[in-house]
Amino acid sequence: MEKLLYVPNPLLRQKTKKIESVGSYELKIAKKMKEIMYSVPGVGLAANQIGILKQIITISFTDQETKKEVNYNLFNPEIISYSQEKIFMEEGCLSLPEQFAKIERSKKILIKYLDDNNHSVMKEVDGVEARILQHEIDHLSGKLFVDYLSSLKRNIMIKKVKKYLKNNIDV
């Protein structure tokens, strides 16, 4: 659990498992995830991106519209409902460095998750926060943002990542 995994690592395609409850071990994982996320830097990270097949997500960003700091962990997150209204926005992924594409997602979602204190939280989110959470929750089921693209575009991006990693990172 020390480093970020990159495509085509098979752990990125595996489904993660629900946690029993939030305890010190889960909080330690979330803390390590935040450290890795900040170092890259990114706005969200799913546990399987660092090789842990548990349903843990961490997000941290400043909302450009409201200037509000958003920073929290989600354990066993699930999307309860999606708004009918969709928006296209450019997305990238820490596991696919330097690759971006416009992806259509719901503008608002209703999510349910456990917080750091093992309390169940139900929350409606919209805008960038909703997008980040949809992206990260996809990770927990082994889905990547490039899966929303045509196979041609997806394969080109994956080849670019492999080339990038070969030239830039000791994987």
Pick the CATH number of 10-168 from 2.60.40.10, 3.20.20.10, 3.40.50.11860, 3.90.45.10: 3.90.45.10
Listing DSSP states for 71-134 in one string gives EEEEEEEEEEEE-S-EEEEEEEETTEEEEEEEEEEESEEEEEEE-TTS-EEEEEEEHHHHHHHH
- State yes or no: is 69 an active-site residue: no
The residues near 37 (Cβ < 8 Å, ≥ 6 apart) are 43, 44, 45, 58, 60, 94
Taking only the tens place, the pLDDT of each residue in 111-168 is 999 999 999 999 999 989 999 999 999 999 999 999 999 999 999 999 999 998 888 8
Backbone phi, psi, residue 84, to 5°: -70, -30
Taking only the tens place, the pLDDT of each residue in 14-25 is 999 999 999 999
How far from chain centre, in Å, is Cα 148? 15
Taking only the tens place, the pLDDT of each residue in 93-108 is 999 999 999 999 999 9
Q: What is the pTM of this model?
A: 0.93
The residues near 130 (Cβ < 8 Å, ≥ 6 apart) are 105, 106, 107, 108, 109
> Among residues 26, 91, 129, 136, which one is catalytic?
136
Distance of alpha carbon 143 from alpha carbon 92, whole angstroms: 13
Q: Are 35 and 73 in contact (CB under 8 A)?
A: no
Residue 113 has what pLDDT?
Answer: 98
